[in-house]
Amino acid sequence: MTTSQIALWGLVVGFIITLIMVTGFAYTTLFERKLLARLQVRFGPNRVGYIPIPSRKGKERKLLGGFMQPAADAVKLFMKEDMTPAKVDRVVYFIAPMMAVFTAIAILAVIPWAGKLPGLPAQYEYFAIAPGINVGVLYVLAITSLGVYGIVLAGWASNNKYAVLGGIRATAQMISYELAMGLTILVPIMLADSMDMGQIVAGQKGMWYIFLQPIAAIVFWIVIMAELQRAPFDMSEAEQELSAGFSVEYGSMRFGMFFMAEYMKMIIFSAIFAVFFLGGYRGPFVDQFPVLGLVYTTLKIIFGLFLMIWIRASLPRLRYDQLMAFGWKRLLPISVINFIVVGVAIVLVEEGVFDSLIRSIQQAIPFLG
């Protein structure tokens, strides 16, 4: 393929995946509201868009109750009055929501969604917008680091004390937890010996990294919850303290863009967690039927979303000092020690120190051979 053909491929696939992601964001909100309602034993959205089905006793049953709620919410946001406070920094105020959405969408470029699908160009080993990027993990870290700017700029440009405090909290929180994130991401990189996201998935053909490194998986999951500003780490919003925080001066679709960025990042970080620790698109019969990779990726993303919502329904918000102490005094030391242990273990395995032990285990348990 020529350079222009590769660029055209990236644009077409990127447009399709982005369109799916925007639709998925809308129904992620419905999934969260329905699941939260079920976990908290109450009614969720169950009116808008249901399909009436008559029952034998003459009572009307409701199928897919609430499935049009995301569309109703979108119409409501479009129709709300779009007010701009008088003393905001107008340029930065308008750019901040767009920056939040851009950083969410940009991460999609390097995520592998499936293996080598039929019709995929010969040089592409897996299906992605930009496959084969040998610094894909570094790209993900760079874009996630930019994500804080949308929140900080929104808080600063709003000319509101609550908004500024929310932006400052978000900055301190993301810096604190990104250190642990960087050290934890090094674990799958070392195990796969590559920074290509597709190679990390391929390295889990025999066993997912969550079984080899459960500590790294748990730390990474906690860190992405903090990066997403999700409960119990939602200190930048903290309605009881900051009156909605950094987004307090935003309404209509500008607020909707922050809302969209948060839920898109929930989907994207669930996909990244699946790539690093749950085998990505790998699963039974995926080598024979590569299309199954899309199914496995989707199921793993739904599992990640379920965990995020379950945690939100179960745990109260941390105090700000507890949040910072947890990042610096707990997660960072655990990440450093785990990184060192994994590095030493990999070197010892490569030097053959454990060969005799592995052979003994294989002889004792034949099916491991």
- Decide if pLDDT at 357 tops 50: yes
**Are 96 and 157 spatial neighbours (Cβ–Cβ below 8 Å)?**
yes
Rounded to whole angstroms, how far apart are CA atoms 281 and 295?
A: 8
- What's the whole-number average pLDDT of the chain? 86
In a domain, 336, yes or no: yes
Closest listed residue to residue 74, CA positions, set 244, 253, 212: 253
In a domain, 354, yes or no: yes
**Which pLDDT band holds residue 369 (cuts at 50, 70, 90)?**
very low
Res 160: pLDDT: 85
Q: What is the pTM of this model?
A: 0.90
In a domain, 202, yes or no: yes
**Are 43 and 35 spatial neighbours (Cβ–Cβ below 8 Å)?**
no
Residue partners of 47: CB distance under 8 A and separation at least 6 = 65, 66
In a domain, 116, yes or no: yes
φ, ψ of residue 213 to 5 degrees: the values are: -135, 70
Share of the chain above pLDDT 90, in %: 36
DSSP at 59: P
Ranges of H-type helices in the chain: 3-39, 69-79, 90-106, 136-157, 161-192, 197-202, 209-212, 214-227, 239-242, 252-277, 292-314, 320-325, 332-350, 355-364
Res 247: pLDDT: 81
In a domain, 317, yes or no: yes
In a domain, 50, yes or no: no
**Which pLDDT band holds residue 205 (cuts at 50, 70, 90)?**
confident
**Are 326 and 318 spatial neighbours (Cβ–Cβ below 8 Å)?**
yes
Mean pLDDT, residues 10-27: 86
What's the pLDDT tens digit per position in 45-97? 888 877 777 766 666 677 777 888 888 888 888 888 888 888 888 899 999 99
* Residue 4 DSSP SS3: helix
Rounded-to-10 torsion of CA 67, 72, 78, 80: -140
Rounded to whole angstroms, how far apart are CA atoms 350 and 344?
A: 10
In a domain, 72, yes or no: no
Report the domain count for the chain: 1
What's the pLDDT tens digit per position in 158-188? 888 888 888 888 888 888 888 899 999 999 9
162: containing domain: 81-368
In a domain, 99, yes or no: yes
